[in-house]
Amino acid sequence: MKLRSGRPSALAPAPRRTPLPNHAEDPVLDLAVPVFNEEKDLEPNVRRLHTHLRDTFPYPFRITIADNASTDATPEIAARLAGELPEVVSLRLPEKGRGRALRAAWSDSRAPVVGYLDVDLSTGLAALLPLVAPLISGHSDLAIGTRLASGARVVRGAKREVISRCYNVLLRCTLAVGFSDAQCGFKAVRRDVAERLLPLVRDGEWFFDTELLVLAERAGLRIHEVPVDWVDDPDSSVDIVATALADLRGIARMRRTLARGRRRTGPVAP
């Protein structure tokens, strides 16, 4: 595990322990599961996640199923799970986009720590407590799972491996980022930090993660990285080409935005 931080900024909070809720039943962690047409995997994987948290997580939690415009039985399954499992709630959005789903779920939460993971549970759940603990203790502001750091164990095809590594190299070359894995679907953030960052994030789809992290690092916030076990989902419905093109457009937009900011404020002192 390692800690990355960017340049100091007024956005960066002073280190402090995350305040826990006053009532034992209030969640400390609100974990969003963004979904689109996931009628096959939703129920077994949410039940598996719920069991893991119930049996291993030492604080109250909530799972928010954030459905963004599914056209299959996903909304009905989500509503049924919310009715059967006391720590599960469902949220229905009329428009697609993982970033939109996360923005809505996190903005609606009062838990001191919010996060998300992909519904396919490609990331090993054993990393969940190490992901969240530094945020609860006040050690870090954001935490990300990484498949590209020492200690990570990854099973996936050569094509996805090459694309992932090339994307993160591109980020380092174009936006000078220090974090190792922008797109692993396994992240958490302190809610007070999210409240300040979310109004600055423009993307509502797959680039949401990258934009959030770049803004956080530029603000001097502390990003904690957790190497994860990760197994590729061969049935993933993600359109790799469309996602890659959207990411490239997002990088270009951020470069323009950051360049305009430098011209207005001048060079940043080392």
Q: Which residues contact 1 (CB under 8 A, 6 or more apart)?
A: 130, 224, 225, 226, 227
**Strands ordered across the beta sheet of 222-227:** 2-5, 222-227, 142-146, 186-190, 113-117, 29-35, 61-68, 88-93
Quote the CA–CA distance of 126 and 107 in Å, as a whole number.
26
Q: Is 232 labeled as catalytic in the residue annotation?
A: no
Active-site choice (30, 203, 209, 247): 209
Residue 61 — φ and ψ, nearest 5°?
Answer: -140, 165
Quote the CA–CA distance of 91 and 192 in Å, as a whole number.
21
Quote the CA–CA distance of 251 and 170 in Å, as a whole number.
9
Please identify every residue annotated as catalytic: 209
